[in-house]
Chain A
Amino acid sequence: MTKNNRNRILENLVFVRIAQLFVNELYKKSQFKIPIHLALGHEAIAIAIDDSMEDEDRLLVTHRNIHYHLARLSVVKPVIEEYKLTNSGMSCGQQGSMNLTNSELKIPYASSILGNNFGVGVGVSLGLQINNSDGVTFIITGDGAIEEGSFYEALLMSVGKRLPIIIVVENNQWSLASKIEDRRSLINLELLAKSVGASYCNLDGNDVFDYAKKMNEIRSKASIEKSTYIVEAHVATLGDWVLKNDDFPEGKFVNYHAGPAKSLSLMNCPFIKQDSRDPIFVASKHYSLDLLEETSNQMKTRIESELE
């Protein structure tokens, strides 16, 4: 990876984080009528996929898609305008957040229905194959949506038809208010992939450079071998808070799902957590804290100027 590319990746990583915090500030001030699922903590995988995508690739996202749009767009104003449902939004205010798509960004479909983008992704990939394209289709999902039968259906069809599809499971352990152990047995995605003839890759640790390197390799293999991959990316959705009331006088941990992240503000730049749950903090393995601070401040200024 060249130094320029590393710098671009770092800048985009910080941008996606800070742009979301700007959105969050507006959200806290009730500037949006629509539900928005922020993806603070999910930045590394979004940047890695953006970095690996080629011109003919496609990206099918879920209701939690802000990180992908920001990573692909590198500006935030059209996203904010879309969330405000104005004509100047990136989809002229017609799609809002959960179903936001953009053909120029190669994001043809976004589903707010769990597991609904699997089948559409298989169709998109089949369409690329019929048009003799080498494009790879990325289908984003989560640990909740893989419980849907459509995950298995699409996986079988993708492998059976030799489609270059990469299913990226953002595993944050949560489906709305229930943790994996509250709702099901563990799913060994590696074994599942192997059993149907797909390949598997585990991404852990939120190191954006490591993720980008691996996603580039996987993308290349999927395209050449016409093979299906499951990539399990372990993420933490940041913005959790502690609920204290008469029912929970000691306080109850509440995982962030959607809406404004009230516990966070622009003061949380550049880090929200100082451990491996935070991809920006993980970047301090590669860059000094001073440089991250400086990049963060520059990005804040840039976004402020964009939004003026």
Chain B
Amino acid sequence: MRNVELVNNKIRSVLAEQKTVISYGQNVSLGSCIGGLTKNLPNTNNSRVINTTNCENTLAGVGFGLLLENIHSVFFLKQQDFLTLSVDHLVNTWSSVRNKKLNASLTFFCVTMNGGYEGPQSSLNSICDFCSIANMPGFTISNAEDTSWVISRQLVSIGVRVIAISQQFLGQEIKQSAANYELIDSLNGIHRYGTGGEATIISLNHAFEVAHIFSEILDVHGVTNSLFNFSAILPVSMEAVIEHARKTNRVFIFDDTKSANKPAYNLSNNINRLMPNCIVSVHERNFEPGWSSPNEDKFELNLEKIVKKELERRITKK
């Protein structure tokens, strides 16, 4: 069983709780139903599933129109890249509508095409850029815990937001969740993995898997740590993470966003502002010429090298 089935089940159960919710987009109930993501969505009572024409700009406007008529809706997009056609409404219509008293929910739910070999026009993974330009809440889903929190709390919730789910995650077989995790911030969907107190690791966007491997390697080398995975793009508060970082004085931030506007930069600046002596390192993707041709599209880092450097630093410090 693949994660896409887990996600689809969760979406269906949340939508089924609503009296009226419109699920719409291209091929939402036809063909593979966006790779199984939108299969068998509730189409009963007053809820509808609408297969639409290919018109992302208008479809974004449609969601705002439904919002103005107090009707919940979810606009599903096969890939995040298509959301660029909706930017006018994300920015301008949202600017005009945001100050009204809203009584309904509008969610833009897209897939981040990080599965590899999709080519140059299917490589966008920076949902933060949409959130930034629109000043709109955004959430990423990269594992089972994100799936549960984001879909339960954000798929249908008064207001407007963007959700991006990792294609890589959708295609993987379901794994047993890490036994040792807890939701430490129920407003922003920050999950903590592990309870170690010698290093603070933060994963942003879809960097969870890499950050998790790093966490395990550090553990093997005797550096106990905690990994904090952020679902929210622009978390309102990070108190629990900051509190942990105050104790460890060492923060590793993993961010796979392909953007000059990475959430990691904001976060590291904030941590340095609050704790000038804290050592913060950002492990990111850089713009590479390879992005413009089909490739593996993997967030690859030499984790052993990063660990080795850290161990050397710790020895020197002693």
A residues apposed to B, CB below 8 Å = 94, 99, 108-113, 116-128, 130-131, 149-150, 153-154, 156-157, 160-161
Is B68 touching A127 in the complex (CB atoms < 8 A)?
A: yes
Is B88 touching A121 in the complex (CB atoms < 8 A)?
A: no
**Contact of B57 (CB < 8 Å), options: A94, A108, A119, A123:** A119
Is A123 touching B96 in the complex (CB atoms < 8 A)?
A: no
- B69 lies within 8 A of chain A by Cβ: yes
- B92 lies within 8 A of chain A by Cβ: yes
Could you say which residues of chain A place their CB within 8 Å of the CB of B102?
none
**Contact of B65 (CB < 8 Å), options: A94, A112, A126, A153:** A126
Is A153 touching B57 in the complex (CB atoms < 8 A)?
A: yes
Is B71 touching A119 in the complex (CB atoms < 8 A)?
A: no
Q: How far, in whole Å, are A120 and B66 apart by their CA atoms in the complex? A: 8
Q: Show 21 residue pairs from A and B whose CB-CB distance is below 8 angstroms, ordered by the A residue.
A: A108-B68, A117-B61, A119-B55, A119-B58, A119-B64, A120-B65, A120-B68, A121-B61, A123-B62, A123-B66, A123-B69, A124-B66, A126-B62, A126-B69, A127-B71, A130-B69, A131-B69, A149-B57, A153-B53, A153-B55, A154-B55
Q: How far, in whole Å, are A94 and B65 apart by their CA atoms in the complex? A: 20
**Which residue on chain A has the smallest CB distance to residue B101?**
A103
**Beyond the given A119-B61, A160-B53, could you list 4 further A-B residue pairs with CB under 8 A, ordered by the A residue number?**
A109-B64, A109-B96, A119-B62, A127-B68
Could you say which residues of chain B place their CB within 8 Å of the CB of A157?
52-53, 55, 58, 62
**Which residue on chain B has the smallest CB distance to residue A124?**
B65
Is B46 touching A150 in the complex (CB atoms < 8 A)?
A: no
Is B68 touching A123 in the complex (CB atoms < 8 A)?
A: yes
| Per-residue contact bits, chain B 91-128, to A (CB 8 Å; 1 contact, 0 not) | 01100110100000000000000000000000000000
Q: How far, in whole Å, are A131 and B103 apart by their CA atoms in the complex? A: 15
Could you say which residues of chain B place their CB within 8 Å of the CB of A126?
22, 62, 65-66, 69
Which of B52, B59, B69, B73 has the most chain A CB atoms closer than 10 A to its own CB? Answer: B69
User: Whole-angstrom distance from the CB of A197 to the nearest CB of chain B?
Assistant: 13
- B192 lies within 8 A of chain A by Cβ: no
User: Whole-angstrom distance from the CB of B103 to the nearest CB of chain A?
Assistant: 12
User: Whole-angstrom distance from the CB of A98 to the nearest CB of chain B?
Assistant: 9
Q: How far, in whole Å, are A113 and B92 apart by their CA atoms in the complex? A: 8
7 nearest A-B residue pairs (beta carbon): A123-B65, A119-B61, A127-B69, A153-B55, A123-B62, A119-B58, A153-B58
